Structure 1
Amino acid sequence: MGEVNIAPLGDRIIVKPIEREVMKSGIIIPDTAKEKPMEGEVVAAGPGKLGEKGERAPMDVKKGDKVLYGKYSGTEVKINDKNYLIMHQDDVLGIIK
């Protein structure tokens, strides 16, 4: 699977958060000082949510997509000493093109 050795189930995705913004002066802007959504890269995506009749709904996000998500979205996990978030596709606010 590459970067992570966990396969997300259903409509879940694994997101690698993009580090906090650093100003030119080197000051790190804390998350509490800004109301912007968080950014991350999808490193794994599940097969899609199962419908009532057993059909899978296609995923809108895929591995490699850069996404925006809410500050408190998902569940934090540590895989291979790196921090990731496991969240439902519905937690994604948008895909950065």
Structure 2
Amino acid sequence: MKFRPLHDRVVVKRTESDEKTAGGIIIPDTAKEKPQQGEVVAVGPGGRDETGKLTPLDVKAGDAVLFGKWSGTEVKIDGVEYLIMKESDIMGVLEGAAAKKKAA
């Protein structure tokens, strides 16, 4: 991807949700809600405080994150859908999620 976010913005790619419920019922595409978790693809250099000093972001590329339902702006880059949001829109980092994904 040839996109670099500015300031405290983060580019997130949504992770695909399961096609079935825990009981084995298949969920059609029309009934699915958009997932509220994703993987950080790119991060900006950070925000500036009152004195002008650069404050680095807490998230980094590759982190699995949880964000709000209406967070970010949806964009398409090279035919792939991404969300661009401020770091403050991210609720938290899912620990161990990236390790489970790599093992699978």
**TM-score, structure 2 length as denominator?**
0.79
Of Structure 1 and Structure 2, the greater helix share is in 2
| 1:74 counterpart = 2:72 | yes
Residue in 1 aligned with 2:33? Answer: 31
| Alignment: residue pair count | 90
Report the CA distance between 1:21 and its aligned residue: 2.5
In structure 2, stretches of 5+ residues that fail to align are 96-104
Report the CA distance between 1:6 and its aligned residue: 0.9
In structure 1, give the amino acid aligned to 2:36.
M
In structure 1, stretches of 5+ residues that fail to align are none
Report the CA distance between 1:25 and its aligned residue: 4.1
Aligned residues with identical type, % of pairs: 47
Tell which structure's C-alpha radius of gyration is larger.
2
| 1:5 counterpart = 2:5 | no
Give the superposed CA RMSD.
1.7
- Match for 1:88 among 86, 90, 102? 86
**TM-score, structure 1 length as denominator?**
0.84
Cα distance in 1 for partners of 2:33, 2:25 equals: 17
